[in-house]
A and B are shown apart, each in its own frame.
Chain A
């Protein structure tokens, strides 16, 4: 069982918006603004999409946005495109001895 809870799957049609949630505790997501989101296509290495809750690295489209409320962080993808179909993982800094925890991952299907 992963430390952070994500839905196993979400889906949406091209052009629509979807949101993926990531629920933790006050020891991780809720306690720090250090939530990241990664995109992983099959057979590829993960790619950083969002860091520190809502910041986008250079080159990441502004269709991707992040937010947080309490112990739950969210990744929203607007204007869905076929190439967005991938697995998405959240992660957070944690006050436990394991410094970083990941979510179990969410498979995004673009219908």
Chain B
């Protein structure tokens, strides 16, 4: 059974940093691209960042470019999101999602999702 378990969310002041983690199991982690997708309270889905199977391709939404860094450790079956210079508008439930393919060149369909970790940016 595929499982994605996010952690690391919490309440943080504007301008501070937070690191999210996603522990994956039930599939061959290094065969697939992985992504972070967020959902602000009561709002729709927003793609945040994606990383190919071997970390060779990485992409970011314009809204987080330069502030967030995605990474993965295939030996640990884990995905990460380092979030710096956090803003109030980054407040959201952050989902870890598995791609149906290995790269970022197309597809970009997410067949498994975690339950999310809530990030609240407030003073």
Q: What residues make up the interface of A, taking CB atoms closer than 8 Å to B? A: 2, 32, 34, 36, 38, 40, 45-48, 51-52, 57, 89, 91, 93, 97-105
Contact = CB atoms under 8 A, between A and B. Distances in A.
Give the size category of B's interface with A.
20 to 34
Contacts of A99: 47, 50, 59, 104, 108
B62 A38 contact: no
B115 A97 contact: no
Contacts of B46: 102
Interface of B: 35, 37, 44-47, 50, 59-62, 65, 95, 100, 104, 106-111, 113-116
Contacts of B116: 45
B111 A57 contact: yes
Sorted nearest first, the 7 A-B pairs with minimum C-beta distance are: A51-B109, A45-B113, A100-B47, A99-B59, A36-B109, A105-B44, A102-B45
Given A45-B113, A45-B114, A45-B115, A102 B47 contact: yes
Nearest to B116: A45
B107 A45 contact: no
Given A91-B45, A99-B59, A51 B113 contact: no
B50 A100 contact: yes
A86 to B, nearest CB: 13
Given A48-B109, A51-B109, A89-B44, A98 B100 contact: no
A51 B110 CA distance: 9
Contact of A51 (B59, B62, B100, B104): B100
Contacts of A100: 35, 47, 50, 108
B47 A91 contact: yes
Given A46-B113, A97-B62, A102-B44, A51 B107 contact: yes
Contacts of A51: 100, 107, 109, 111
A32 B47 CA distance: 18
Contacts of B61: 98
A93 to B, nearest CB: 5
A34 B108 contact: yes
